[in-house]
Every structure is written in structure tokens, then in C-alpha cells.
Structure 1
Amino acid sequence: MKAINVLLVCAGGMSTSILMKKLQQYRDEQGVAGQIQAVGLSAYEDVYQDYDVILMGPQVAYRQGEVEAATGLPVAAIPPLDYAVGDSAHIFKLAENLV
């Protein structure tokens, strides 16, 4: 895997913070470079410039088109099951496929 900077976006940034920790651990285990950050919908416009891809929590997936238009970055909603169980391998694959 090449280095990839992933921005996670959810309603308030809280639930995605838990997922962020799992993804960081997976990234470290796989030896992948890059950063992962979790923010709420109200904050993504302040930081998106530093990222390659935006992954959105299922609870805010309805705003995907808006985020894509505002940032010009590839954006995808994390599938609900992957989000719920924190399936880092699937989520990383989703990010990789977008870049």
C-alpha cells in the first residue's frame, strides 16, 4: 500500500474517533504511511486540503455529494457494517480504490 491521507467525517467527529484509532493501528501494522483524522461535518472544510480521500460515516452519507463538490476530492460513504465493526481492512481498501 502506498501512503494515503484519509479524512473521516461524521456528524460530530466522536464516533469516527473510535474508528480512527482502529484505522491508525491497522495502518501501523501494515507499515503504511499517511495520516488519518476524524472531524465533524462542521469542520471538514478547514482541513480537507491535507488529505487524498474523504470517507464519511453512514449517518452523514446523504451529504456525500455536497462534500465532494466543496472539496473536489474523492468521497465515499463507509458501508454501515464495516463502520459498525471497524473493519479496517475493508475501509482501507475503499480508500485505496478511490485514490
Structure 2
Amino acid sequence: MNILLCCCAGMSTSLLVSKMKRSAAEQKLDHTIWAVPIDAVSREITKADVLLLGPQVRYMFNEFKELGDKKGVPVTVIDTVQYGKMNGHEVLRTAEQLYNDK
């Protein structure tokens, strides 16, 4: 599965991506996980199976949801608590659930 994360500049989310990759590796899951800033989502979404938005860009949800609907890519906002904890395992589970529910 290809998991795209969106944030403002990519700094805090890059740490979350690392933790998600570690969790996927521990579970022997073959996922590609990467983060981009807001202005890169429109070109990166075509490579993604799901799009997760950092809580700091939740105001973009409606716009990215519309884009995701056009591309067949489900979109959600990462839980603020899990994001704050940098809980890669739980955020990975969120992405998998989103993918499985589409």
C-alpha cells in the first residue's frame, strides 16, 4: 500500500513517517510511506492509495477530500492525540483501515 501524508512543511511528519515505516517493517508489511507539503499533494496523490492529513492542515480536508474522490484515494485527518504521540503503529492502522474501507 502507498500511504501519503500531508503537512505544512514536512518536518514533524517526517518523524511520524519514520515511525510508521518501522512499524510496517516489524509487521513485515510492504508499504511505501512518504510525506509532502500541501503544495505537492496534487501531483503526489496519483501515486497514493490513501492520503492522511496532519492535524495542522485539517483546514484543507474538504479540498483534498474532493481531490481524493476524483482520484479514488480515501482521505482522512490523523488523530491529534496519535499525531502528538508520534504513534506510528496507530497511524499505520488508521491508513490500513481507511484503505480497507474504501
- The two structures have a TM-score, normalised by structure 1, of 0.90
- Residue identity over aligned pairs, in percent, reads 34
RMSD of the TM alignment (CA)?
A: 1.0
Once the 2 structures are TM-superposed, how far is the Cα of residue 86 of structure 1 from its aligned partner?
1.3
Which aligned pairs between 1:22-37 and structure 2 lie closer than 5 A? 22-37=19-34
Indicate which of 13, 16, 33 corresponds to 1:16. 13
Q: Distance in 2 between matches of 1:27 and 1:96?
A: 11
Q: What secondary structure sits across from 1:55 in the alignment?
A: strand
Counterpart in the other structure of 1:90: 90
Once the 2 structures are TM-superposed, how far is the Cα of residue 88 of structure 1 from its aligned partner?
1.8
Once the 2 structures are TM-superposed, how far is the Cα of residue 71 of structure 1 from its aligned partner?
2.9
Structure 1 segments of 4 or more deviating over 2 A? none
User: Is 1:45 aligned to residue 42 of structure 2?
Assistant: yes
Q: Distance in 1 between matches of 2:79 and 2:59?
A: 13
Q: What secondary structure sits across from 1:37 in the alignment?
A: strand
Contact 2:61–2:76 under 8 Å retained in 1: yes
Q: Distance in 2 between matches of 1:77 and 1:71?
A: 13
The runs of 5 or more residues in structure 2 that have no matched partner are: none
The runs of 5 or more residues in structure 1 that have no matched partner are: none
Q: Deviations over 1:4-62 (max 9, x none)?
A: 21000001112111111111111111100120010000111111111100001000012
Indicate which of 55, 60, 63 corresponds to 1:63. 60
Counterpart in the other structure of 2:75: 75
Larger displacement relative to structure 2 (21-30 or 66-75): 66-75
- The two structures have a TM-score, normalised by structure 2, of 0.88
The one-letter code of the counterpart of 1:31 is K
Q: Give the total of aligned pairs.
A: 96
